[in-house]
Amino acid sequence: MADSGLWIGVLTALTALGASCVTARATLRAAHAQARTTARAEALREQRDRRRSAYREMMGCAHAFNAVTWEIDDVDAARDRAAKDQLLTQMYERLGPAIGDMNRAMHEVRLDGPEHVSDAADHVRNMARRVQPPLKALIADDSPEQRDAYDAAYRDFRAAYVTFIALARGTLEVADEDE
């Protein structure tokens, strides 16, 4: 009888030891999985924050560019050709630095991506560049054709900018788990 009690004790101890090993391995795997999940979530949060910052910078530069182009209303309200030309020249001189700032911001977006948003930022910058020649052509030439060319270039820029905003917003949105 003592031998059977001993064997039951040994089997119970081995079962407890085996269960302890299995539990320890499962706990270790769960801890590793949790650590990986936490690290991934933190990396995604940092990526989203970097992107948000880059997108805001691009939008700020595009807005500064817009602020210059909106001065066309002042040109339209100017009383004589000399005043119009002076305002147009000032606008033209300020567009270059605004595009330079946008170029720098576009490269920040390019670094943080994703590619479709980066391409949209590049398109915004390129459309901004296309506003310069028609603006320069307006200096000393107030023909309707020149103004139409400027307005068309600005509309193309504006459309590219609105597209960039939509793509950037879509990239930054986080899906709700309950939906």
125-163 pLDDT, tens digit per residue, is 999 999 999 999 999 887 889 999 999 999 999 999 999
Cβ atoms of residues 103 and 119 within 8 Å: no
Which residues contact residue 103 at a Cβ distance below 8 angstroms, ignoring those fewer than 6 apart?
125
Domain ranges of the chain: 48-172
pTM passes above 0.85 = no
